[in-house]
Structure 1
Amino acid sequence: MAKFFRLFILTLLIFSFSFAEKVYLEANSIEKIDKDNIIAKGKVVLKYQDITVNSEKLIFNKTKKIIKFDTKTDIKSPKYHLIARKGWYNFETKNGEFYQVQISFENKYFIKAKKIEKQKDIFYFEKAKFSSCSFDQYDWFIYSFDGNFKKNDYLTAKNVFFFFCKAPLFYTPYFKYPTARRKTGFLPFLISQDTYNDFILKIPFYLVIDKSSDSTFTLDYRNKQGKGIDIEYRKKFSPSEYINLNTFFFKEKSNGSWWEGRNIGSLENRWLLESDGRFNLFNNTKLFLRLNIPSDKYFYEDFYNTSTLRYTSYTKSQILALTETKDFTVEINFDFLYDLSTKNNEYTLQRLPEVRFYWKERPLFSNIYYDFLSVNTNFYRKKGTRGLRSDNQFRFILSTPYKYITNSFEFIPRSTLYANVKENPEKNPSRNLVEIKDRVSSIFQKKYSNFTHNIIPIIQFNYINKVNQEKLPIFDKEDRIPAKKDIDLSLYNIFDFQNNNYFRWEISTGYTFLNEYYIGDNLYEGRKKPFRNSFIYSINSFTGENTLFYDFKKNQIVRTISSFSFPITKYFRYSMSHSFDKGEQNSTNQLLNSISANYKNISLNFSILSNIKEGYIQQKRGSLTFNRKCWYVKLDYIKDFNKTTGKSYKVITLTLNIINFSYNFPLLKPTED
């Protein structure tokens, strides 16, 4: 009855006051004070445009669109949420004044203040606290006696204190902080240590050039290595077109201990050139750029020695033009590799250029399709085998469905031509191959009350004729295509349960009419292929997968890849990954054990990577994180062992992140044993 009465009063108000823009007002009691003002009491709800006001009492001026209140009032809009004890607000001018107020902007910034005065898009405040912590966990805040806040501009404050966990940490008479994504000024500086230096200081300065471009200049000082500058430039031409340029130059002090035992003398000038870009040349043509060239092969090891980048073995620079239409795709690719693991780059193979043409699959007759792929590459290196290769293959596909059975037949003639080959027995050799594939499959499905069961049997035949390839150069694995005459049998069982749970199981084996076969890139001898058992599952919080190959001839497992993860308790989870491969030429055996724990806002992760084949622990990693959403503290532990050098790398770091600024405190200086 009361709800009906309020709706009735609301209808009368809308009708009788005839507001230019509708104001929806609902309350337990609504009274008219004069021709312009009305007073609403008890569960007041007022809606105007995208703003909603909730209060126990307010006065509304329907002519000027102003509300006044002296009791707790809640004002919501899509961008902010304000609660005040007293104040007024003008819906048309967007001006207002609020006392004993707290306001949140887009649920990112949370402010408490004695007084806030709003003039259009500027907020003026007195005795205010600012934080990115929500009001229910105000762990840190910036306190200011007075100042102003403007979105997409600056927060300016005077007499500022920074409080963390109720304790004041520092004071400044003046503070200015950008509230826009892009503002010219200094960015947070970084103080740290690494393997070589006891003290590292980086001071970045951000420069807004115009609406579509900006730059960052970072001064880099390292007490043992020297000093340098990092210059980044970014330009956006359109939503999908951009260019990023980065130049790092470092003046190094002489005779650093890190140069001991190296096959080159110490370098004074070190540098890194990087770029990344994308351009739309035409409607269907795109150009991609990538540049990554260091001054020397030890650059990443010396300047990124506290991260996994120190193990970078090569860098890649590339220019790629891609044209794609409904009928074909053309790629022109210039690849330049800088091999950091060799003495020099003279023997490193480059693709300068590689041109790929693909005529997309299309019907030839009613149920016969075809496509064509041509890959033409100029393999270049200063020393060693080099030359041109043109690899071309047609593919004819015949698909024949019959009731529950589908047969897919492919006939693939392939011709590879070489020209102007240097340092090879033949200058212009060639190779012609024919590949035949036939696949027969079916599917049987049965639905139960709680799951669906699919059974898919597959028989595959694969044939590649044997040709002599000894006189061909070797640029990559495409220069040695092994002969095949194989039959493979597979059976899939797929169980799909409710709540996205599933279990998928595959068993397969095969036979080759030759005396050898491949699993991946590894060569195995014999005719009977191993029995393959593979499954993957996700049931509630239990997940896992396993692929196992059992060789009947050798009566042993020759390859297995496994991983699983399950909860130990409500808060602890254990994960394991194992890879084992006993190939004729290469073999691996590694085990990764991991444990994780999560309790409220505390998380723990620890892992050990063991090389079982060589009998040593390759890596240990651990982290302990206390995360309060608006700030976190994290303790990291890393220990790597390099079998080649026989050295261990170890570091322990404490990271404190507040206001999205990270402060790193090395508790143990990175060392090499």
Structure 2
Amino acid sequence: MFSRLTFFGIAFFFSLSSLGQSSLKLTGEKIHSENDRIIIEGNVKAEYENMKLETQKLIYLKEEKKIVASGKVRFLRGAIQFTCDRLVYFTEEKRGKGEGNLKGKYDKWYFTAKKIEFDEKKIKLFHVKYTTCNLSPPHYHFQAKEAIFYLKEKVVAKGNSFFLGRIPLFYFPYFEYPLKDLPYGWVHKLGSSNKKGLFLLSHYNWYCNPELRGRIYLDLLEKRGIGEGMDAEWKKENSRFYIYGFQFQEKEKYYEKYESREGAREGKDRLKRWKINFRGIKFNNESIVAFKFEKMSDPFYNLDFYSEETKKGWSEYPLKRKPETYLFLEKNSPLYTAGIKGKWKVNYFQKILEEKPTIYYSLPLYPLNWGEYSLQSNISYLSKEPDGEKSLRILSTQSLTHPINIGNWEINPRIYFSLDFYEEDFKEREYCGYRLRFSKRFFNINPSRTSLFLPYFTLVGRTPSFSSQNSLPYFEEKDRIKGMRGLNTGFWGNWEWGERCFSWNFSGKGIKKGEKEEKTIFQEWSWKITDFLSFEGFHLFDLNENRRNYDSFSLVLKRKTFRVKCGYNFSYPEEENISLSSKWKISDIWNLKFYERYNIEHSFSEESRITVEKKLHCWRMFVMLKSEKRVGESRDWEILVGFRIIGI
């Protein structure tokens, strides 16, 4: 029986050859043919040019030239490979989408996601985690709402967070990472500004091998001064190291405007401003060691050099005024993971602290597993030295979790206890509480591609009690904080019919802390009417006493040669603005970009940008005209001409 059914599959392959689809091959244990479709079940294999597919059930729609696969689907095409529960693939257009238990790999990147859409030029992943670490769990990973892999070019992600182990370290609203080995060698940006005068920003990307590369900087600003610097990055399979240093020699006339700022440098060397940054990580199957050292000449360095560092492409927390140094250690075993993190900060902006350090140590022990039970513990130590006097604070937290499945419901209870001790008057506070999370699929109608989920609702409760180690009672503290109760809930839906697609996310939060209540509602939606026209927007409704609402509506027009987005943003009671952005592809080598934003309410401001870009094989050139006007300030304008030349 098996050999005969396989023979039918081969006969089907030859019948497609007669129709001009010579590269399509399908085999399986059981084949059923109808007028408009072929149904194959049992160890199904499909091959079409460089695409290979394995699944348990496959339906081929002849007129639409579409493959619909379900049940442990394994897909392979070039450097792309992944597994999922459901897959749709259009053979002629070479595009498809999959969902359900999605895991895969592209080149050196490993990913897990809720949904994937792909074609010949890109891979689009939704609610994705991705990393280059092949261990399980990975030592580090990125987590994003949406990530697009432009094949052999770059990765672009929105709402991107970076995790070291289980600890989130950084958040990037927009993240871009190149996939090409060789960067542009020389990059020159020539411009003019009413604040900076004529200026030239240039750097050279030096490249030794894929493991070692860096940049050399040279900046010349007519009204400000001269700057030079260098960075280097060294990557190995189990380690990463980065060092950055930059020094700027300010001009006397320019710096006089800012000498009155609190924390500004004084003396002969006040015009020499600098910044250094050194960080690294080394890991293996059992442990992680990560560290960072950062120091700058004055607290206003990041603020004053924000635009220059952004144009260089190096802007890690550009507006963060506090330099940070830390050391992180983690040890893994089959039963537990233990880690310790020490921080050292300098706060320039509080007269009490001046330049005294704040030291913070954390010892997380997570998780200790016994079957389905998990115990997590954390101990933190904080030390400050205001005016030579030491103060410390110790916080200890323990939590116990155990997931429960009842039918389609999943319940994740968490019970926790915290002890907070701080030296100020030797106070001590205790907290105990609970957190219950319920998850269930609401409904899912496959034929109309309609789905609506109730992903979670969470009950939160915390009850504090207080005691004191001296003879004075502290009833004021106890009366001020009376615990926390609340509910978080949310659901999302997705409807598709033809080319149209409408998605909606909704979440609500109601938390009571003592006498105060926090209530917010958030909605996000997008409506794709056609491939050319779509709408998107979000709404944040604040139900608290000091209400502050946010609304955003955008119209998007898209074609292969242009993309236009017109948006209206409203924030009550502070500001209201309208923005218009567009990108036009005039030809294969010419691009035109336009951006305009008006703040039309309480603090009127206006910003305009026009950019013309020319691309050739070995170099790129762009010209940008930027103008900005704020209330009470003179108009700031800037003309920028940039050259990027490939070189090693």
TM-score with structure 2 setting the length? 0.55
For the residues of structure 2 that align with 1:485 and 1:210, how far apart are their CA atoms? 56
Q: Alignment partner for residue 567 of structure 2, among 571, 576, 580?
A: 576
Q: Which residue of 2 aligns with 1:625?
A: 613
For the residues of structure 1 that align with 2:300 and 2:514, how far apart are their CA atoms? 47
The question of 1:607 aligning with 2:599 is answered no
Q: Which residue of 2 aligns with 1:3?
A: none
- Paired residue type of 1:625: E
1:208/1:215 contact within 8 Å kept:
yes
Q: Alignment partner for residue 431 of structure 1, among 406, 418, 429?
A: 429
- Paired residue type of 1:576: G
1:334/1:354 contact within 8 Å kept:
yes
1:318/1:333 contact within 8 Å kept:
no
In terms of Rg, which structure is larger? 1
Q: How many Å apart are 1:413 and its aligned residue?
A: 1.6
Q: Which residue of 1 aligns with 2:229?
A: 230
Q: How many Å apart are 1:544 and its aligned residue?
A: 2.1
Q: How many Å apart are 1:451 and its aligned residue?
A: 0.6
Quickly say closer, same or farther: Cα 1:281–1:259, change in 2 above 3 A.
same
2:358/2:385 contact within 8 Å kept:
no
Q: Alignment partner for residue 637 of structure 2, among 650, 662, 667?
A: 650
1:347/1:384 contact within 8 Å kept:
no
Q: Which residue of 1 aligns with 2:486?
A: 486
For the residues of structure 2 that align with 1:410 and 1:379, how far apart are their CA atoms? 30
Q: Which residue of 2 aligns with 1:256?
A: 253
Quickly say closer, same or farther: Cα 1:517–1:482, change in 2 above 3 A.
farther
For the residues of structure 1 that align with 2:189 and 2:525, how far apart are their CA atoms? 48
Q: Which residue of 1 aligns with 2:395?
A: 391
1:338/1:348 contact within 8 Å kept:
yes
Matched residues, percent identical?
Answer: 11
Number of aligned residue pairs = 442
Q: How many Å apart are 1:301 and its aligned residue?
A: 5.6
1:240/1:278 contact within 8 Å kept:
no
- Paired residue type of 2:406: Y
Q: Please give the secondary structure, in 2, of the residue aligned with 1:614.
A: coil
The question of 1:402 aligning with 2:406 is answered yes
1:327/1:359 contact within 8 Å kept:
no
For the residues of structure 2 that align with 1:490 and 1:207, how far apart are their CA atoms? 49
Q: Which residue of 2 aligns with 1:291?
A: 293
Q: Please give the secondary structure, in 1, of the residue aligned with 2:403.
A: strand
For the residues of structure 2 that align with 1:235 and 1:507, how far apart are their CA atoms? 41
Q: Alignment partner for residue 538 of structure 2, among 520, 543, 546?
A: 546
Q: What are the equivalent positions in structure 2 for 1:40-79 lying under 5 Å apart?
A: none
Q: How many Å apart are 1:517 and its aligned residue?
A: 1.8
Quickly say closer, same or farther: Cα 1:481–1:388, change in 2 above 3 A.
farther
- Paired residue type of 2:256: W
Q: Please give the secondary structure, in 2, of the residue aligned with 1:256.
A: helix
- Paired residue type of 1:517: E
Q: Which residue of 1 aligns with 2:416?
A: 412
Quickly say closer, same or farther: Cα 1:335–1:395, change in 2 above 3 A.
closer
2:193/2:636 contact within 8 Å kept:
no
Quickly say closer, same or farther: Cα 1:374–1:251, change in 2 above 3 A.
same
For the residues of structure 1 that align with 2:637 and 2:513, how far apart are their CA atoms? 52
Q: How many Å apart are 1:316 and its aligned residue?
A: 2.7
Q: Alignment partner for residue 354 of structure 1, among 347, 351, 361?
A: 361
Q: Please give the secondary structure, in 1, of the residue aligned with 2:556.
A: strand
For the residues of structure 1 that align with 2:188 and 2:491, how far apart are their CA atoms? 59
Q: How many Å apart are 1:567 and its aligned residue?
A: 0.8
Q: How many Å apart are 1:596 and its aligned residue?
A: 0.7
Q: Which residue of 2 aligns with 1:564?
A: 554
Q: How many Å apart are 1:202 and its aligned residue?
A: 7.5
Gaps of 5+ in 2: 1-180, 470-479
Q: How many Å apart are 1:433 and its aligned residue?
A: 0.9
1:138-191 deviation per Cα after TM superposition (whole angstroms, max 9, x unaligned): xxxxxxxxxxxxxxxxxxxxxxxxxxxxxxxxxxxxxxxxxx979xxx967776
For the residues of structure 1 that align with 2:204 and 2:487, how far apart are their CA atoms? 64
- Paired residue type of 1:560: Y
Quickly say closer, same or farther: Cα 1:324–1:544, change in 2 above 3 A.
farther
For the residues of structure 2 that align with 1:518 and 1:344, how far apart are their CA atoms? 32
The question of 1:318 aligning with 2:315 is answered no
Q: Please give the secondary structure, in 2, of the residue aligned with 1:314.
A: coil
Q: How many Å apart are 1:270 and its aligned residue?
A: 1.1
Between the two structures, name the one with larger relative contact order (CA 8 Å, sep ≥ 6).
Answer: 2
1:323-349 deviation per Cα after TM superposition (whole angstroms, max 9, x unaligned): 141444444434344557x48794478
2:512/2:518 contact within 8 Å kept:
no
For the residues of structure 2 that align with 1:578 and 1:292, how far apart are their CA atoms? 37
The question of 1:638 aligning with 2:626 is answered yes
1:461-519 deviation per Cα after TM superposition (whole angstroms, max 9, x unaligned): 32122557999xxxxxxxx9873223456554443668895523436575869753225
- Give the stretch that moved more between structures: 647-656 or 383-392: 383-392
Q: How many Å apart are 1:199 and its aligned residue?
A: 5.6
Q: How many Å apart are 1:432 and its aligned residue?
A: 0.8
2:575/2:603 contact within 8 Å kept:
no
1:547-600 deviation per Cα after TM superposition (whole angstroms, max 9, x unaligned): 34274x99x9853353534217873422426363x6xxxx65454513213233
For the residues of structure 2 that align with 1:457 and 1:213, how far apart are their CA atoms? 44
- Paired residue type of 1:559: N
Quickly say closer, same or farther: Cα 1:384–1:595, change in 2 above 3 A.
farther
TM-score with structure 1 setting the length? 0.53
Q: Please give the secondary structure, in 2, of the residue aligned with 1:465.
A: strand
For the residues of structure 1 that align with 2:548 and 2:205, how far apart are their CA atoms? 56
Q: How many Å apart are 1:445 and its aligned residue?
A: 2.6
